[in-house]
Structure 1
Amino acid sequence: MNKIKVGIIGGAGYTAGELLRILIFHPEVEIVFIHSKSQASKDIATVHTDLFGDTDLKFSAALSTSVDLLFLCLGHGDSKVFLSENAIESTTKIIDLSQDFRCSNSNLNFVYGLPELCRKEIQQAQNIANPGCFATAIQLALLPLAKESELKSPIHIGATTGSTGAGQALSATSHNSWRTNNLSVYKAFEHQHLAEINQSLGVLQTNFDQQITFIPQRGAFARGIFSIATLKTTLAEKQLSDLYQAYYESHPFTHVSEQEIDLKQVVNTNKALLYLKKSGEDLMVVSAIDNLTKGASGQAVQNMNLMFGLDESTGLKLKAAAF
């Protein structure tokens, strides 16, 4: 098999940097170009300094149409603009990392790219809408219950993300001096990822109509999402454990732990870890992912692998630092 020729649009941001970290060492990929208007002609490693010594690639202002796959690492709203202004060859597949095509009301043919929900559809897809980071962590915590139509009560979620989740553009709440030794709530009850979460749960549990109360938080760390979902269920803890283990048995990156989990177990990896705890009828589902890998670029590569008939873990066997 010839290597997959890929191009990256919006190459200077965090998700593009993470994508490059993975793709440079992917055995089945050839990176044809990395497009960036702001960094054109500069060495990649001058922006993504962790790649110094690993690549001599440069940013390009020009687009190449001779690629098998195009990754769109653009801001929300910018992917739609890019595709409306640029002619993409019909043979070129697209993986979009923005939120522009995640919900089914999009008028373009994008498949939702959560492998634990849509693996068969992803394998046949021309275009993929990569899921949001919070949405990934939260959906993985709830999908097994939705599959059995066991989401029968309101769902309360508190989830904390690292500063890289805000993107590379500077803002008052992304400065290190503000984040350090600090914690805050933002977009309470109305985070944009709620739409795709509700959409996915409704795919598995067609009568799903429960309220999801989601309180996102900004954490004083760079990478990762730690989510806690609580709801009521009459299922016993052993039943729940068996249900979750069965659902994720064939999915290589999502694991159900019998021990309490922490964020360092997943940072720098494409893993998602889940932990269940029951008290009376109250169920707690803890989930942990890296917002830049399983929550963005790692999941995008996982989708690429599926689209091109590769083992979905190719190039993604990454180890957490742990300490």
Structure 2
Amino acid sequence: MIKTGIIGGSGYTGGELIRILLNHPQAQIDFVYSTTRAGKPISSAHQDLLGLTDLQFSGEINPEVDVVFLCLGHGNSTSFLKENHFSASTKVIDLSNDFRLQADSVFNGQRFIYGLPELNRSSIQSAEAIANPGCFATAIQLGLLPLAKAGLLGEDVHINAVTGSTGAGVGLSETSHFSWRNNNVSWYKPFTHQHLGEIGESLNSYGKSVGKLMFLPNRGNFTRGILATAYTKYSGTLDEASKLYSDFYKDAAFTHISDEELHLKQVVNTNQCHIHLHKHDDLLLVTSAIDNLLKGASGQAVQNMNLMFGFPETEGLLLKAGVF
């Protein structure tokens, strides 16, 4: 049984992380740190956990925990680690974008490994610190990595993806409150989204030519999940593409190829990524679907924790979708 700590546990990713760890047979929550809710019950922020835990938010950290999860806003993990120190044996899993890019991956002499298990499993197993991937980045990379490894992404790639409102965090904004979001769809940050940097580094890691990534993110009028579509020129057959993807993900615990067209309810509340392939003339259309809060955040963080501590990769993560 390992002891875990959570920094910033009052947001969506923190709440999902608490929910998973409460039911993880190999992990115990030692503290959930919050500067604004210290002394208050966890259920005061996460009403879905009422009756499931008596834990309270803490105003102090235990620097001796086995692993600490940083569920802070982007840019805040760096400042928190500058002001707070953990033991040399404490592993760090950061859910922000502070350490995802190679240029930012070394902090205070510690190297953060990019935590996409389907790409870096062996490195994650021996890592002391993990930079958990972004939600859009996870869905898009899992859809394109097999083509990148095979050197089949030399042409431009057109990507369209829609995410639920939880991707914007718990803080209210003009585009996240109910009256605006309900019965509404819009795009944002066209072709400039911050996840493009980490996506590009992963796709280029195989040393093969990669075309321009033209990514259009969309806000959906639902709460959670990401459905991403990407298409590019492809001269092979659909059977060849299916074999390429099946071979690439043959050992993946959570990424699966579907012969049927996808919908979001298949993956919401799970750590799964489902992928579907479609061939039209000289184009290959790749569809991928994930839960942005689980495979796109907290679930993947626990998946990384499992790999780091030698637990079964699926421990605590065998969650069923609610498709009805």
- State the TM bucket, normalised to the shorter chain: over 0.9
C-alpha distance in 1 between matches for 2:36 and 2:161: 33
C-alpha distance in 1 between matches for 2:141 and 2:211: 14
Query: 1:88 maps to which residue?
Result: 86
C-alpha distance in 1 between matches for 2:82 and 2:59: 18
Residues 148, 208 of structure 2: 8 Å contact kept: no
After TM superposition, give the deviation of residue 152 of structure 1 in Å: 1.8
Residues 64, 86 of structure 2: 8 Å contact kept: no
Residues 7, 69 of structure 1: 8 Å contact kept: yes
Query: 2:99 maps to which residue?
Result: 101
C-alpha distance in 1 between matches for 2:236 and 2:179: 45
Query: 1:292 maps to which residue?
Result: 293
C-alpha distance in 2 between matches for 1:4 and 1:294: 22
C-alpha distance in 1 between matches for 2:287 and 2:210: 22
5 Å-filtered alignment, 1:1-323, equals: 3-106=1-104, 107-108=106-107, 109-204=111-206, 206-323=207-324
Residues 8, 73 of structure 1: 8 Å contact kept: yes
Aligned partner of residue 239 in structure 1, secondary structure: helix
After TM superposition, give the deviation of residue 209 of structure 1 in Å: 3.7
Residues 152, 233 of structure 1: 8 Å contact kept: no
C-alpha distance in 2 between matches for 1:51 and 1:283: 43
C-alpha distance in 1 between matches for 2:322 and 2:263: 12
C-alpha distance in 1 between matches for 2:40 and 2:311: 32
Residues 257, 274 of structure 1: 8 Å contact kept: yes
C-alpha distance in 1 between matches for 2:179 and 2:289: 25
Is there any run of 5+ residues in structure 1 with no aligned partner, and where? none
C-alpha distance in 1 between matches for 2:121 and 2:208: 22
C-alpha distance in 2 between matches for 1:239 and 1:14: 40
C-alpha distance in 2 between matches for 1:105 and 1:312: 29
Residues 265, 322 of structure 1: 8 Å contact kept: yes
Aligned partner of residue 295 in structure 2, secondary structure: helix
Cα deviation, 1:50-82, whole Å, max 9, x if unaligned, reads 001100000001111120000000000000000
C-alpha distance in 2 between matches for 1:207 and 1:290: 29
C-alpha distance in 2 between matches for 1:146 and 1:260: 23
After TM superposition, give the deviation of residue 208 of structure 1 in Å: 2.6
Task: Output the aligned Cα RMSD.
Answer: 0.6
C-alpha distance in 2 between matches for 1:38 and 1:15: 17
Cα deviation, 1:261-308, whole Å, max 9, x if unaligned, reads 100000000000000000111110000000000000000000000000
Is there any run of 5+ residues in structure 2 with no aligned partner, and where? none
Aligned partner of residue 61 in structure 1, secondary structure: coil
C-alpha distance in 2 between matches for 1:165 and 1:184: 14
Residues 155, 213 of structure 1: 8 Å contact kept: yes
Aligned partner of residue 100 in structure 1, secondary structure: coil
C-alpha distance in 2 between matches for 1:176 and 1:29: 36
After TM superposition, give the deviation of residue 87 of structure 1 in Å: 1.6
Cα deviation, 1:185-243, whole Å, max 9, x if unaligned, reads 00001000000000000112x13341000000000000000001010011110000001
Overall identity of the aligned pairs, in %? 56
Cα deviation, 1:91-126, whole Å, max 9, x if unaligned, reads 100000000000000132100000000000000000
C-alpha distance in 2 between matches for 1:40 and 1:171: 25
Aligned residues: 320
Deviates more, 1:305-314 or 1:146-155: 146-155
C-alpha distance in 1 between matches for 2:86 and 2:29: 17
Structure 1-normalised TM-score?
0.98
Aligned partner of residue 241 in structure 1, secondary structure: helix
Residues 268, 293 of structure 1: 8 Å contact kept: yes
Question: Runs in 1 of length 4+ with deviation above 3 angstroms?
Answer: none
